[in-house]
Amino acid sequence: MNELARAAQTYLDTRRALGFRLRGEGQLLAQFVAFMDKAGLSVITTDAALAWATGPVDVDPYWWGSRLAVVRTFASWLVAFDPHTQVPAADLLRYRSHRAEPYPYTDADIAALMTAAATITHPLRAATYQTLIGLLSVTGMRVGEAIKLDRTDLDAASGALTIRHAKFDKSRELPLHPSTIDALAAYARVRDRTCPHPPTPSLLISIVGTRLIYKNVHHTWLDLARQAGLRPRSSRCRPRIHDLRHRFAIATLLGWYQGDADIPARLPQLSTYLGHVSPASTYWYLHGAPELLALAAQRLEAHQGGSR
């Protein structure tokens, strides 16, 4: 291990000891150190950092800025130990992030995805992806949360599913509809019949009984979306698996608006169910659906009319 690699490891260990996970940042920093080693460079310079950050082609320029930010943060720490280190300027690659536009999945889209999953040759893999799609659709949980579920996290008797150590290291309990419990029980029968002794306690498993890997789930999702006939609406609106979470939130809010519920009072419940830090994060979903904005405007207009 060269000096720069040792410094990078010390930097990561120090920040992780303070509570930062740095999973993505750690991977990027390791790639940067490897780039420097291959180029025969031992001191961080602005030119080297810029060359590495802008290396990927055909990507959003915002990604370049994100990569450079990882090096800049490390360099800001390292310069205290090695004064020859150059810290790239904060405005060197200033690009604004463009948040993806949520894909507006319909009930027909979900049915088409489930049908596509049913065509997967291996019965366990087909059942796993049908169950995953259904579970994401009716709970709004994150993909990573579904992958991390163990069998013991499902309490069929009480009809609840426990999400443990999710984003921000928060855990929560999700009440499930009886039909969802039945679907999970049906999946368990297929899983236990086709793979009776899996090497992992995971609720959802691969054909060899291991826990699902996000990268593989993502690739399979893209294949299923194509088979289901789902096409991008624009460069910023593509059928992403994460948008099933958005669909759940929108459907919940629409139901509450149509049922004349007290939205400000109910929103913290949805925020907790989704695992958001605060309702402010959940409010973003209001901006992602024109029908929600219309209902909110109608309610505001009725309120203002009644107060005159």
Of the residues 11, 105, 129, 285, only one is catalytic, namely 285
DSSP structure class, residue 167: G
Question: Vertex 152, ends 146 and 154: CA angle to 5°?
Answer: 60
142 is catalytic: yes
Q: Which residues are CB-contacts of 107 (< 8 A; sequence separation ≥ 6)?
A: none
177 is catalytic: no
Alpha-carbon separation of residue 163 from 135, 172, 189 (angstroms): 13, 5, 22
Of the residues 242, 257, 266, 283, only one is catalytic, namely 242
Alpha-carbon separation of residue 64 from 4, 114, 214 (angstroms): 22, 36, 23
What is the distance of C-alpha 96 from the center of its chain?
Answer: 20
Of the residues 167, 193, 219, 236, only one is catalytic, namely 167
Residues 149 and 163: their CA atoms lie apart, in Å, by: 7
Cβ–Cβ under 8 Å, residues 217 and 135: no
62 is catalytic: no
Of the residues 142, 240, 246, 247, only one is catalytic, namely 142
3-state secondary structure at position 121: coil
Of the residues 67, 148, 191, 245, only one is catalytic, namely 245
167 is catalytic: yes
Strand partners, 202: 150
Of the residues 72, 148, 240, 276, only one is catalytic, namely 276
End-to-end CA distance of the chain: 74
Among candidate residues 39, 38, 40, 44, the one with its CA nearest the CA of residue 8? 44
Burial of 199 (0-12, 13-18, 19+ CB in 10 A): exposed
242 is catalytic: yes
Catalytic residues, which ones?
142, 167, 242, 245, 276, 285
